[in-house]
Amino acid sequence: MPNVYTFKDFEGSSHRILIELVHRYVKRGGKLVDLGAAGGELGAALRDHFSRTIGFEYNADCIVTLHKHFDAAVISDLEKVKHLPGDADAIVIADVLEHLRDAPTLLRSIQMALAPGGRVFISVPNIANITVRLGLLFGVFEYRDRGILDNTHLRFYTLRTIRREVEAAGFRILETRGSSVPLRLIIGSFTPELLLRIGEKMLSIVTRLWRGLFAYQIILVAERK
151: domain CATH number is: 3.40.50.150
75 occurs within a structural domain: yes
pLDDT per residue as tens digits for the range 104-134: 999 999 999 999 999 999 999 999 999 999 9
7 occurs within a structural domain: no
Predicted TM-score (pTM) of this structure: 0.91
2 occurs within a structural domain: no
Contact 148, 132 (CB under 8 A): yes
6 occurs within a structural domain: no
125 occurs within a structural domain: yes
Count up the domains in the chain and report the number: 1
Pairing of strands 171-179, 217-224: antiparallel
19 occurs within a structural domain: yes
102 occurs within a structural domain: yes
Domain residues for the domain of 97 are 14-224
pLDDT per residue as tens digits for the range 76-97: 999 988 889 999 999 999 999 9
> Where residue 1 falls among pLDDT bands split at 50, 70, 90?
very low
Task: Read off the pLDDT of each residue in 24-31 and give the average, rounded to a whole number.
Answer: 96
Contact 160, 133 (CB under 8 A): no
40 occurs within a structural domain: yes
Which residue spans within 5-131 are E strands per DSSP? 31-35, 52-57, 72-75, 88-94, 114-125
> Where residue 169 falls among pLDDT bands split at 50, 70, 90?
very high
Write the CB contacts of 46 (distance below 8 Å, at least 6 apart in sequence): 19, 22, 32, 34, 53, 90, 92
> Exposed (0-12), middle (13-18) or buried (19+): which is 108, by Cβ within 10 Å?
middle
